[in-house]
Amino acid sequence: MAAKLATEFQMTQQAIDAFGALVGQRAPQLKRTPGTGHHSDPAAAKSVGLRGPVAYSLHYYGHVADLMTQRHGERWLRGGEMAVAFIKPVCAGDDIRVVVGERPVQRPEQVPNGSHGFQVDVYNQFGELVAAGVATLPDEATS
């Protein structure tokens, strides 16, 4: 099976705002007011106990799907699955590392029969695991 997949990036406030604007692009009635809310405003974020403006979990989750798409293409898009638990918030300015397949699958029960599983891990700059789960591909014979 292929070697690990990985990507690293900084979760900038600009990136958080750009990701947050995507919903408003599809649903204009939900367009966010720039600079407000716990995704953009440090005061609002701190008022709910966050270190700073928090990233959307589906933002860095999207990188897992992208890594799987770029490596496995149609096999991923026709039968691939992923399931991730979000453990700690990612905040503006955090350095994020997304790795797929770096260590053995930690919860094998999450891998359906007839599939091959890859451990998914997301770390911040402190080396803390901020999200973890599994991505699976259907076996060649069933895809």
- Single residue of 6, 52, 69, 93 touching other proteins by CB under 8 A: 69
Determine if 74 is a binding residue for other proteins (CB under 8 A): yes
Determine if 66 is a binding residue for other proteins (CB under 8 A): yes
Count of beta carbons in the 10 Å neighbourhood of residue 61: 18
Of 65-73, 100-108, 117-125, which segment contacts other proteins by CB under 8 A?
65-73
Q: C-alpha distances in angstroms, 11 versus 16, 85, 109, 124, 137?
A: 7, 19, 31, 10, 28
Letters for 92-111 (x = contact with other proteins by CB under 8 A, - = none) are --------------------
Q: Which residues contact 28 (CB under 8 A, 6 or more apart)?
A: none
CA–CA distance, 41 with 112 (Å, rounded to integer): 41
**Residue 140 CB, nearest approach to other proteins (Å):** 16
- Single residue of 4, 70, 95, 107 touching other proteins by CB under 8 A: 70
Determine if 35 is a binding residue for other proteins (CB under 8 A): yes
Q: Is the dihedral of CA 108, 112, 116, 117 positive or negative?
A: negative
User: What is the rounded end-to-end Cα distance, in angstroms, of the chain?
Assistant: 15
Give the footprint of other proteins on this chain (CB under 8 A).
Answer: 9, 15, 18-19, 21-23, 25-27, 29-30, 33, 35-38, 41, 43-44, 47-48, 54, 56-59, 61-63, 65-66, 69-70, 74, 76-86, 89, 133
